[in-house]
Amino acid sequence: MQTSCVAPDKKDLGRALCIVTGASKGFGRTIAKEISLLLKPRSVLVLAARSCEKLQELKADLDSSGAGREGLVTCCVVADLATNEGVGSVISAAKEFSIKDMDNLILINNAASLGDVSRYTQSFTNMAEVDSYLSFNVSSALSLTASLLQAFPQQQGLRRCIVNVSSLCALKPFPSWVLYCTGKAAREMMFRVLAEEEPDIRVLSYSPGPMDTDMQIVARDTTADLTVKKSFVSLLNQGQLITCEASCAKLLKVLLEDSYLSGAHLDFYEL
Amino acid sequence: MQTSCVAPDKKDLGRALCIVTGASKGFGRTIAKEISLLLKPRSVLVLAARSCEKLQELKADLDSSGAGREGLVTCCVVADLATNEGVGSVISAAKEFSIKDMDNLILINNAASLGDVSRYTQSFTNMAEVDSYLSFNVSSALSLTASLLQAFPQQQGLRRCIVNVSSLCALKPFPSWVLYCTGKAAREMMFRVLAEEEPDIRVLSYSPGPMDTDMQIVARDTTADLTVKKSFVSLLNQGQLITCEASCAKLLKVLLEDSYLSGAHLDFYEL
């Protein structure tokens, strides 16, 4: 697998076509805003999510920002990534733009769902529920990644980078979080296989830590396992939840330095 | 998590209700035959697979064996475990038998498919293909396990044991094996969560090593990655493929000793 030299003086991601899924809120929205500051003029940011309204708000913010005024093109795709059509519409939107003279193609696979954490493994008797969870959280990320790599094949001067927004749950089992842990473990392995296969592609699984997001609220309110639930309440009460901005800053630093081993799992707390 | 004392003198699994999936051939068939020798009279073996003919052959073998003549009841369930109905029919068949006076409830989640190993990750653009793979290899095992645990709740004197037939692929990425690696990693985590949640249930992920089965032939013939493909050819040519019997013997020794940490991944080569 490819590692590259540390470039400590690298201040931006060059001219890039960058796709962020789950961009309408939480970590995805923060990534979109923060990464826009690192993109050179005439870069393109493709933002995918289900909520049209929130995407449009974000686009308005970005268009009126410094990056927007300097020529960042922001394109919103309202899509349900749980479907082939949703994945297809993100790819179609990205293909509208020429990759010629781009330095980077970056896909941030951020979209994910928590699954029902109010129940234990023994309660997941309905295959359709599990199927649906895995489809959105695993199959969709694979299909989107594969389709994008096919749409934009290897070419000289183009650096292709795939980010998997991962979790400690990809590595460690948490009681009453069977869907989330299973999905994150599956994604992690999927991207490790990709990294093994394609030495020219940069693949990163980034675990952003416990962030102060809507998902965190649901986790705190509904987790069945009391020990896990209390740990979330304690993070909140002790002011230890991470802001999306702080976590995003570490992710972007890793992407700028570009010295990670492709396929690696990097954790907020270890950076 | 629960560990129990080593019982080196334990020679059988007592009276048990034992369910084996993918029992018609390969490792599943061997497990069915070998485990039958460790079950006390009036035990029940529920064998599930898609092929009616092969199951019936196996049942005939078992019925006429020493175990059969001493009162082992073998029940065949022709079922497609990729469907809710298939899972349901295995559970219904198991529930026909009384768990009263049984020492053990054992589920061997062996059924699995290889997926298409003739292509690389970049080619998996079709969500339906990935969905279908994950449904059979992940959702089905979760649904079956959950349903069985609900059907036979904790009761005094009953030891419940869930085996996940795993693989080195659950831990290590192999080029052109993205579906198999992803599915095995997902299953591994799923069963680790179960082990965390239910200290009274014994959960084991067993990696049986490269066995001389039909799946091995397909792997050897169709793997896209040449290094991986050659490693299989080399295993064959150097006589290093493991017989199903040899691998099964180690699995059964682990089950008899019953000293593993619940949720652990144990590998043939490390036993």
pLDDT digits 0-9 by tens, B83-103: 999 999 999 999 999 998 899
Q: Please tell me the predicted confidence (pLDDT) of residue A181.
A: 98
Interchain CB distance below 8 Å, B197 and A83: no
pLDDT-derived band at B223, boundaries 50, 70, 90: very high
Q: Does the residue A2 lie in any domain? A: no
pLDDT surpassing 80 at residue A85 = yes
Does any domain span residue A9? no
Question: Quick check: A198 and B121 CB within 8 A?
Answer: yes
Whose structure tokens read 């619940």?
B262
How does DSSP assign A135-154, residue by residue?
Answer: IIIIIHHHHHHHHHHHHS--
Helices B127-134 and B178-197 meet at what angle, rounded to 10?
A: 40
CA distance A134 to chain B (A): 7
Residue B89 counted as domain residue: yes
Residue B165 φ/ψ, nearest 5 degrees: -75, 110
Binary contact (B194, A124; C-beta < 8 A): no
Burial pattern B22-45, b for ≥16 Cβ within 10 A else e, equals bbbbbbbbbbbbebbebbbeebbb
- pLDDT digit string (tens) for B145-182? 999 999 999 999 999 999 999 999 999 999 999 999 99
CB contact under 8 A, B146 and A138: no
Residue A150: is its pLDDT beyond 60? Answer: yes
Nearest Cα residue in chain B from A180: B190
Average pLDDT across chain B, whole number: 95
Selection from B266, B205, B200, B265 nearest residue B1 by Cα: B200
Give the CATH number for residue A75: 3.40.50.720
- Model confidence at B1, pLDDT cuts 50, 70, 90, reads very low
In angstroms, the separation between the Cα of residue B74 and the nearest Cα of chain A is 25
* Cα–Cα distance for residue pair B217/B210, rounded to 1 Å: 11
Is the residue at B221 inside a domain? yes
pLDDT per residue over B112-141, tens digit each? Answer: 999 999 999 999 999 999 999 999 999 999
Asked, for residue A10, whether it belongs to a domain, the answer is: no
Asked if A196's CB is within 8 angstroms of B175's CB, the reply is yes
Q: CA angle B223-B229-B231, nearest 5°?
A: 150
Residues of B in contact with A178 (CB under 8 A): 142, 190, 193-194, 197
CA atoms of A27 and A32, how far apart (whole Å) = 9
Is residue B2 included in any domain, yes or no? no
The mean of the pLDDT values for chain A is 95
Contact B181 A189 (CB under 8 A): yes
Distance (Å, whole) CA A43 – CA A67: 9
* Residue A229 falls inside a structural domain: yes
A8 pLDDT above the threshold of 60 = no
Over residues A228-245, the pLDDT tens digits come to 999 999 999 999 999 999
| More confident: B67 or B245 | B245
What does the pLDDT read at residue B9?
64
**Is the Cβ–Cβ distance between A176 and A228 less than 8 Å?**
yes
Q: Which residue has the tokens 């990729």?
A: B82
Residue B209 has pLDDT above 70, yes or no: yes
Q: Which chain A residue's Cα is nearest to B199?
A: A175
Q: Total structural domains in chain A?
A: 1
Label residue A67 by pLDDT band (50, 70, 90). Answer: confident
Per-residue pLDDT, A1: 47
Q: Is residue B106 part of a domain?
A: yes
